[in-house]
A and B are shown apart, each in its own frame.
Chain A
Amino acid sequence: MDELPGWAAGVDVDRPSAARMYDYALGGSHNFAADREATQAVIAAFPDGPLVARSNRLFLHRAVRFLAAEAGITQFLDLGSGVPTVGNVHEVAQGVNPQARVVYVDIDPVAVVHSRMLLADNPLATVLHADIREPASILGSSEVTGLLDLSRPTAVLMVTVLHFISDGDDPAGIIGAFRAATVPGSYLAVSHVTADERAEQVHGAGKVYESTPTGVTPRSRAAIADLLAGYDLVEPGLVYLPSWRPDEKHGGIDPLADDPSRAVALAAVGRR
């Protein structure tokens, strides 16, 4: 045996992952050279990239705060959670309600292991390595069944994840499966890249993601609204990221607040 075979030598480090590119765009250091190179390529095509990442993260922050503080949700299933960064879902939720429970799910094995390291001392939060295109395996996992009680209202978070699912993988079916598994009074939070405006920039950035395991699929406002069928959207409905319940006091200052469409992603929270 002259050298370790490829599968044992860490291909993950050499291939950009959406989760770690997001971390880098937010200013994090939990990433590898391949992620940084890919992110730089995104920024070259789409200079607003880091601002959009921040805007998106602020939306997540506000949405979780809304769900925990105003909707009274104590259980969160964060799909496509990525690399743990400051202001994670469990930090925000448990900041509001220390008994809040969170299950993170990601397809990137490194993000999952990293999350697991971070959550080692937190009995109310855990992480699952799974593909959200397989809802049954997530809903049936010991992580979900062990920590969450799906007979009580649960918030499913699909923030910055649905546009990584191609039409061929049936995103509506995936959302439907999670909706069916939760009880009325549960919530869904979504942010989704759209190319309705600034199409050239979005598609330019999208090209870079073709080298990641997931790729990227922007969708129109109408298509995103269709995906949310079965949920009653809370105010203000489906809007650009900065426009969803801005809250400087608790949620920071959105760099794109003055021109929300620069965020190229729509956000919504809906109640089942």
Chain B
Amino acid sequence: MERSLSPAARRRGVARFAQVWARAIVGASYPATGLVDVEERLLGLTERLVDALFGEPFAAEPAAAVGAVVAEHTFAAADALAATIRVCGARLLAELRLDADDELAGRVAALQGALAHGYTRALRERILAGQDSIHRAAHLATDARFRTIFNGAAIGIVLADAAGRIVDANDAFLRMLGVAPHRVHGRALHEFAHPEDAAGLRDAHAAQRLTGPAHLRTELRFAGPAGATVRAELTTSCLRRADGRGEVQLSMIVDVTERHRLQSELRRQARHDPLTGLPNRTVLAERVTELMSAEPDRRLGLCFIDLDGFKAVNDSLGHDVGDRLLVAVAGRLTGALAAGQLLVRMGGDEFVILLADTAGIDDVTATATAVLAALAEPVRVGDQALSIGASMGLVERPATDGDLADLLRAADITLYQAKDAGRGRWEVFDAERNARQVTRHTLSTMLPGAVEQDQFTVVYQPIVTLGEQSGVGGVGGVGGVMVGVEALVRWRHPRFGLLSPEAFIGLAEETGQIVLLGRRVLELACRQAARWRELCPDGVGAPYVSVNLTARQTREADLVDQVARILDETGLPARLLQLELTESALMSAAGEPMRALDDLAAMGVRIAIDDFGTGYSNLAYLRRLPVHTLKLAGPFVDGFGSAHQHDPDGEKIVRMLVELAHSLRLTVTAEGVETAAQAERLRQVDCDSAQGYLFAPPLPPGEITRRLRATPVGAPPAAPSTVSTLPAPRVKGAATSRFVS
């Protein structure tokens, strides 16, 4: 194809097109440079397009290169390409002042196609390169962040490969162990562990890479800088490949050396006496518990030491000298210890030496001898030479005999026996002697607290009528109607369990605690009796409650007021309270009956003489006393045994006593009835009522309540007309008048 286009006309045409093209592109996109630069660049590109337009033979490909250059220098690509295609189609031939014949139009179209092709191909490359670079930047940024965290972390982080070789370790780890990075790479973590922990770690890590677990947590020691030991908590996580094999092991290591040191220091402080540095009773308890939970045939010994004369030193020379003396004594005692013995300061001037695996008491006495020898020489404190002795209680027994408290109590009691026996000596624990004395000693110290802490409970033994028939097989069991109950106190001792009055009433009487205790029992009993009364319609059939008073109580100036107040507070009618006194308690020191009894009787309270017949039984006073009931002591009843143990004299005495009582308008209650034969004979001698295991043992209040509910209303002594289906109790009319008075 030949076209007549002069060089000048062509140059002008190219310049015009470049100008139009530049405006189109610059207006449609964001070019790197200003219009001037773009126009200059497009001038060259237009030349190449015009070359192609007139090329013979015609080839459109050069336009693709032009398109690539345009793409390279423009942004907002779609707009720039559109502008370029549009301007080529609309203006190329026009600016060259050519007529658009079919062939030229076809060539322009081909050029446009190639241009778009070249532009697009270049743009694609540019986009892909841009994406590559931004992804690489993101990766690097993430990596940089990771490295920042990795190296800034306060905990050690170690990354190991599939063979357990360290590929990366952070600064914290390197600092922790005081090693350089090049010494770590390629080695395994266990190589840095303490020799005793290395093999375990190696095996655990190898196992984790093979089969798991995903997370491994352990505490171990590392070999730290300059031979120091670093205690560390280690957590290793394993990243697995698809085939399940460990690919990466990530270990986090926290230095807990300081925490350990503090903990052990705290533990030491909690377990040691700050003055002497000796272990304290906590350590003793641990060690004893350990021995006790060991094999059953182990034995142990305890030497409980109390310094003689220490208090005098403390008081006369001051606490400072006292403290220094204790430190010196601790040193002496430590020197006297044999292998395997534990010396403990219990507090004050008390020390304990614990012997494990003793063969017998001789081991402990040997230790006691050594202690006395160690203290034989006066102890120097400053310029004072102080003579100090020791008393000791020794115990030796199978480790499994009792608990630590038992052991210490035994040693303590024995120590006091040694003190009592004259100091500067030891005593060996005697279990039998202890059973007698320990309990008494321990209980007397515990009694006041027990009253305060309300450790006492009251149980109730039913008192039943002895009817016309023996009542065997009656509705309520053996015996007749339950007309009353005797209140019996029990000490629910936190360590010894339920104690009966014999164990502590004497003590309470001696120490005066009986006053508080007695008042407490009276309150409990009256409150309970009032509740029972509420169970009975109109109070009919309510049992009276019989409460024991000791001699000490009857001598309390305000006894009458106390009883009145308690009756008032509990709402119990006076007639449902019976006070039991022994013969001795009834009489004043001058041999006169207690004035208080008259007042109590006047209130309507019943008075019973307990254990009648066991004192000197001055029958004369019976006439003058406001007494309502005689309680026959067990020995009389014992004589009423079975047929082949028949005691005719005993029976005569009882018959006589009952007749005497009835003649004085007193009722008689027999105590300690255990057999049906006894009950039958008592009935035959007209005894009014009885209590004992034959009928019921002392029962908790709930059981009495249950019996009251189960049994149809019984007959109160004062109201025989209300007797139910049970055989009517035989009630002495004279006594009846007393009851209601």
Interface residues of A (CB under 8 A from B): 1-2, 7-10, 12-13, 20, 26-32, 50, 54, 57-58, 83, 85-87, 91, 109-114, 117, 247-253, 255
Q: Tell me if A109 and B144 are in contact (CB < 8 A).
A: yes
Q: Which of B78, B139, B142, B238 contacts A1 (CB 8 A)?
A: B238
Q: Tell me if B138 and A12 are in contact (CB < 8 A).
A: yes
Q: Tell me if A110 and B134 are in contact (CB < 8 A).
A: yes
Chain B residues near A1 (CB-CB < 8 A):
214, 237-239, 248, 250
Q: Which of B22-30, B166-174, B432-440 contacts A (4 or more CB under 8 A)?
A: B22-30
Chain A residues near B127 (CB-CB < 8 A):
29
Expressed in whole angstroms, the minimum distance between the Cβ of B72 and any Cβ of chain A is 10
Which are the 6 A-B pairs with shortest beta-carbon distances? A29-B130, A114-B137, A27-B76, A250-B34, A109-B141, A1-B237
Expressed in whole angstroms, the minimum distance between the Cβ of A136 and any Cβ of chain B is 20
Q: Tell me if A54 and B30 are in contact (CB < 8 A).
A: yes
Cα of A251 to Cα of B134 in the assembled complex, Å: 27
Known A1-B239, A113-B144, A249-B35; 11 more pairs at CB < 8 Å: A8-B149, A28-B130, A31-B134, A32-B134, A50-B76, A110-B141, A114-B133, A117-B133, A248-B35, A253-B27, A255-B27
Cα of A91 to Cα of B34 in the assembled complex, Å: 13
Q: Tell me if B32 and A10 are in contact (CB < 8 A).
A: no
Is B456 located at the chain interface by the 8 A CB criterion? no
Expressed in whole angstroms, the minimum distance between the Cβ of B712 and any Cβ of chain A is 78
Chain A residues near B30 (CB-CB < 8 A):
26-27, 54, 57-58, 86-87, 252
Q: Which of B32, B36, B149 contacts A249 (CB 8 A)?
A: B36
Chain B residues near A32 (CB-CB < 8 A):
134, 138
Chain A residues near B239 (CB-CB < 8 A):
1-2
Is B693 located at the chain interface by the 8 A CB criterion? no
Chain B residues near A20 (CB-CB < 8 A):
134
Q: Which of B33, B77, B130, B144 contacts A30 (CB 8 A)?
A: B130
Q: Which of A13, A27, A87, A252 contacts B138 (CB 8 A)?
A: A13
Cα of A230 to Cα of B76 in the assembled complex, Å: 38
Cα of A28 to Cα of B126 in the assembled complex, Å: 9
Is B739 located at the chain interface by the 8 A CB criterion? no
Cα of A113 to Cα of B29 in the assembled complex, Å: 27
Beyond A8-B146, A109-B145, whether A87 also contacts B33 by CB under 8 A is yes
Q: Which residue of B lies closest to A247 (CB)?
A: B34
Interface residues of B in 2-54 (CB under 8 A from A): 23, 26-27, 29-36
Cα of A2 to Cα of B36 in the assembled complex, Å: 58
Chain A residues near B26 (CB-CB < 8 A):
248, 252-253
Is B97 located at the chain interface by the 8 A CB criterion? no
Q: Which of A85, A111, A253, A255 contacts B75 (CB 8 A)?
A: A85
Q: Tell me if B138 and A110 are in contact (CB < 8 A).
A: yes
Q: Which residue of B lies closest to A250 (CB)?
A: B34
Expressed in whole angstroms, the minimum distance between the Cβ of A106 and any Cβ of chain B is 11
Q: Tell me if B139 and A10 are in contact (CB < 8 A).
A: yes
Cα of A32 to Cα of B77 in the assembled complex, Å: 18
Is B262 located at the chain interface by the 8 A CB criterion? no
Q: Which of B27, B134, B250 contacts A114 (CB 8 A)?
A: B134
Q: Which of A50, A83, A112, A255 contacts B134 (CB 8 A)?
A: A83
Is B207 located at the chain interface by the 8 A CB criterion? no
Chain A residues near B129 (CB-CB < 8 A):
29
Beyond A7-B146, A109-B144, A253-B23, whether A29 also contacts B33 by CB under 8 A is no
Expressed in whole angstroms, the minimum distance between the Cβ of A10 and any Cβ of chain B is 5
Q: Which of B35, B126, B131, B248 contacts A252 (CB 8 A)?
A: B35
Is B140 located at the chain interface by the 8 A CB criterion? yes
Expressed in whole angstroms, the minimum distance between the Cβ of A230 and any Cβ of chain B is 32
Interface residues of B in 74-133 (CB under 8 A from A): 75-79, 126-131, 133
Expressed in whole angstroms, the minimum distance between the Cβ of B128 and any Cβ of chain A is 8
Beyond A7-B146, A10-B138, A253-B23, whether A27 also contacts B237 by CB under 8 A is no
Chain B residues near A255 (CB-CB < 8 A):
27
Expressed in whole angstroms, the minimum distance between the Cβ of B238 and any Cβ of chain A is 7
Q: Which of B76, B140, B237, B248 contacts A113 (CB 8 A)?
A: B140
Cα of A32 to Cα of B26 in the assembled complex, Å: 27
Is B646 located at the chain interface by the 8 A CB criterion? no
Could you write out 14 A-B pairs with CB less than 8 Å apart?
Answer: A8-B142, A9-B142, A12-B138, A27-B29, A27-B76, A27-B79, A29-B126, A30-B131, A85-B75, A87-B33, A113-B137, A117-B136, A249-B34, A252-B33
Expressed in whole angstroms, the minimum distance between the Cβ of A77 and any Cβ of chain B is 22
Beyond A13-B138, A117-B137, whether A26 also contacts B76 by CB under 8 A is yes
Cα of A113 to Cα of B146 in the assembled complex, Å: 14
Expressed in whole angstroms, the minimum distance between the Cβ of A14 and any Cβ of chain B is 10
Chain A residues near B77 (CB-CB < 8 A):
27
Expressed in whole angstroms, the minimum distance between the Cβ of B183 and any Cβ of chain A is 25
Q: Which of A28, A83, A87 contacts B32 (CB 8 A)?
A: A87
Beyond A27-B30, A28-B130, A29-B130, whether A54 also contacts B76 by CB under 8 A is yes
Interface residues of B in 238-268 (CB under 8 A from A): 238-239, 248, 250
Beyond A29-B126, A113-B140, A114-B134, whether A2 also contacts B35 by CB under 8 A is no
Q: Tell me if A12 and B141 are in contact (CB < 8 A).
A: yes
Beyond A1-B248, A110-B137, A253-B23, whether A27 also contacts B34 by CB under 8 A is no
Cα of A26 to Cα of B36 in the assembled complex, Å: 21
Query: Most chain-B CB neighbours within 10 Å: which of A29, A50, A111, A249?
Result: A29
Cα of A130 to Cα of B79 in the assembled complex, Å: 35
Cα of A38 to Cα of B31 in the assembled complex, Å: 24
Q: Tell me if A7 and B75 are in contact (CB < 8 A).
A: no
Q: Tell me if B144 and A26 are in contact (CB < 8 A).
A: no
Interface residues of B in 143-161 (CB under 8 A from A): 144-146, 149
Expressed in whole angstroms, the minimum distance between the Cβ of A47 and any Cβ of chain B is 14
Q: Tell me if B75 and A10 are in contact (CB < 8 A).
A: no
Cα of A54 to Cα of B79 in the assembled complex, Å: 13
Chain B residues near A117 (CB-CB < 8 A):
133, 136-137, 140
Expressed in whole angstroms, the minimum distance between the Cβ of A81 and any Cβ of chain B is 14
Q: Tell me if A86 and B34 are in contact (CB < 8 A).
A: no
Q: Which of B75, B79, B130, B142 contacts A12 (CB 8 A)?
A: B142
Cα of A268 to Cα of B722 in the assembled complex, Å: 116
Cα of A87 to Cα of B29 in the assembled complex, Å: 13
Cα of A114 to Cα of B134 in the assembled complex, Å: 6
Beyond A10-B142, A58-B30, whether A29 also contacts B35 by CB under 8 A is no
Q: Which residue of B lies closest to A65 (CB)?
A: B34
- Give 1 or 0 for each of B644-664: 1 = CB within 8 Å of chain A CB: 000000000000000000000
